[in-house]
């Protein structure tokens, strides 16, 4: 049995201004009685340091919205309202609550629990319309993160054989392909070009600390980042292989940006890379309308790992804002089922990225057919970045982030992945699955709202529509 993988979280507050759901305001009619300090167990209310006779401004960051202070104030001097920035942040996909959830996970490494049960959506676009099977949650041995049962979250990257061939004497004839194991089905997709040096280094260090990998442009691999080269996947054009031969000699995997030339010349390109160094090759393919056809052709041509990349909201990259663009779960299922249809699914590793925003999106993406996921924006949101979808994508970083210590930034990324890893263990434990690789394509262990809605009401409404016509 392999050693149990564990991510050690460390409470790491980031003393930067950030979005919060509610804003507490103290009115002029406050008599400084201090009643709020006695009833608030989260210490959102304190007396002033300079003059203890007066109350300090409320600390909204620690508030957990119990409203006890509002109820107990004898003068009704406290008022709570929705923060304006909370109402404006995000958009149709990146919801306001996601930012607070990711921020808290990065702070303490725990999955946020409200104590009021799940109040999220049971229907909606993308992963929101997908429910996972939790039938094994009643079994005491399926205890997820609590440790009595071993659950492996590791995944294997690389090309696999469809079958093994032996000669008459029983000697293995098949050539076993090289593979790489990582202990968590998540890699980092470097999110932005103009990150400050401390954030770049911290994210790379976090990848090394977690023993996962990060996709990085060679231009960003500076001297201080080269220390972690075994955890870096350089992304290059197939025309730059010779130029980056020295870099290829130092890594375990290299990623190629897809273009049409790669479809016909992939075996030659892989051989060229293998001659430089025995590394695995990833082909990075945008999630267009025909992505499943492209992935199938690449797999038939010997692709080892294919990285399907949707846009930041988990939608097809077709350059339009049309309503017919497929969402992440549908893209992944289309790719997976095409490979199953061609009887080559087990031969290739599929990475998916784009719209992986929350911890539960990882097992859901895998249930749809991905082997593992790549994330980018959640790493930045954990560091205080604010994303606005309308009228166009706008990513804002908090003032002062570039002055935060690298170790602090790194711990927040590690904490975030600790929370996501715990969530994955809980989901797998509740489903009775002991190995992450068994999640892949297990759509029978999930319910898709569109399918049951169509089965239940589809025929009925179709008949009505026909009658009206």
Q: Give 36-59 pLDDT, tens digit per residue.
A: 999 998 889 999 988 889 999 898
State residue 448's pLDDT score: 86
Nearest by Cα to 68 from 89, 43, 96, 50: 43
| CA–CA dist 389, 93 (Å, integer) | 8
C-beta neighbour count of 230 within 10 angstroms: 12
State residue 148's pLDDT score: 61
State residue 145's pLDDT score: 55
Q: At what angle do helices 406-431 and 361-368 cross, to 10 degrees?
A: 50
Tell me the CB-side half-sphere exposure of residue 236, using CA atoms within 13 A: 21
Q: Tokens 């911290």 — which residue?
A: 202
Structural fold of domain 144-452: TIM Barrel (3.20.20)
Q: Which CATH architecture has domain 22-82?
A: 2-Layer Sandwich (3.30)
Cβ–Cβ under 8 Å, residues 199 and 401: yes
State residue 147's pLDDT score: 55
Cβ–Cβ under 8 Å, residues 223 and 236: no
| CA–CA dist 379, 402 (Å, integer) | 15
The token duo for 38 is: 């006695």
The token duo for 5 is: 């993988």
Q: At what angle do helices 260-276 and 291-300 cross, to 10 degrees?
A: 40
Nearest by Cα to 370 from 337, 327, 416: 337
Q: Which helix (H) or strand (E) holds 286?
A: strand 280-286
| CA–CA dist 30, 37 (Å, integer) | 13
Q: Which helix (H) or strand (E) holds 394?
A: strand 394-396
Q: How far is CA 7 from the centre of its chain?
A: 16
Q: Tokens 């007396």 — which residue?
A: 47
In this prediction, the residues of the chain whose per-residue pLDDT falls under 50 are 115-116, 464-467, 469
Per domain, the residue ranges of the chain are: 22-82, 144-452
State residue 173's pLDDT score: 73
Nearest by Cα to 256 from 236, 227, 242, 272: 236
């Amino acid at each position: 049995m392999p050693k149990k993988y564990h991510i050690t979280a460390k409470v790491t507050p980031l003393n930067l201004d950030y979005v919060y759901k509610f804003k507490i305001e103290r009115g002029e009619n406050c008599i400084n009685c201090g009643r709020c300090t006695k009833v608030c167990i989260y210490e959102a209310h304190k007396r002033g340091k300079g003059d203890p006779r007066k109350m300090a401004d409320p600390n909204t960051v620690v508030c957990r919205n119990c409203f006890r202070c509002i109820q107990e104030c004898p003068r009704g001097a406290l008022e709570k309202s929705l923060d304006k920035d909370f109402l404006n942040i995000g958009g149709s996909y990146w919801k306001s609550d996601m930012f607070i959830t990711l921020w808290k996970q990065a702070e303490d490494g725990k999955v946020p629990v409200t104590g009021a049960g799940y109040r999220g959506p049971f229907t909606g676009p993308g992963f929101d319309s997908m429910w996972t099977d939790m039938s094994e949650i009643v079994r005491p041995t399926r205890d997820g993160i609590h440790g009595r049962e071993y659950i492996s979250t590791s995944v294997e990257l690389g090309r696999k054989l469809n079958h093994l061939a032996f000669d008459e004497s029983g000697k293995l004839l098949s050539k076993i392909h090289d593979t790489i194991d990582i202990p968590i089905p998540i890699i980092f997709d470097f999110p932005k070009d103009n990150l400050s040096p401390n954030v770049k280094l911290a994210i790379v260090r976090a990848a090394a600390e977690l023993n996962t990998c990060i996709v990085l442009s060679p231009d960003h691999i500076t001297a201080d980042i080269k220390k972690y080269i075994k955890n870096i996947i350089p992304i290059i054009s197939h025309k730059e292989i010779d130029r980056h031969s020295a870099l290829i000699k130092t890594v375990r995997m290299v990623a190629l940006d897809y273009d049409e030339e790669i479809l016909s010349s992939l075996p030659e390109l892989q051989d060229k890379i293998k001659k430089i160094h025995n590394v695995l090759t990833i082909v990075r393919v945008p999630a267009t309308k025909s992505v499943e056809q492209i992935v199938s052709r690449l797999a038939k041509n010997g692709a080892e790992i294919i990285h399907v990349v949707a846009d930041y909201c988990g939608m097809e990259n077709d350059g339009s804002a049309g309503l017919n663009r497929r969402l992440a779960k549908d893209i992944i299922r289309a790719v997976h089922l095409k490979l199953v249809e061609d009887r080559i699914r087990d031969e290739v590793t599929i990475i998916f990225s784009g719209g992986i925003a929350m911890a539960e999106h990882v097992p859901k993406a895998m249930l749809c057919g991905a082997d593992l996921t790549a994330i980018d924006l959640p790493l930045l949101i954990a560091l205080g970045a604010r994303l606005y979808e309308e009228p166009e994508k706008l990513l804002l970083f908090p003032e002062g982030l570039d002055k935060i210590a690298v170790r602090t930034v790194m711990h927040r990324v590690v904490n975030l992945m600790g929370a996501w890893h715990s969530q994955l263990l809980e989901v797998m434990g509740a489903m009775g699955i002991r190995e992450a690789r068994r999640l892949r394509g297990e759509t029978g262990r999930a319910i898709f709202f569109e399918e049951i809605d169509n089965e239940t009401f589809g025929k009925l409404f179709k008949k009505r529509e026909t009658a009206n016509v």
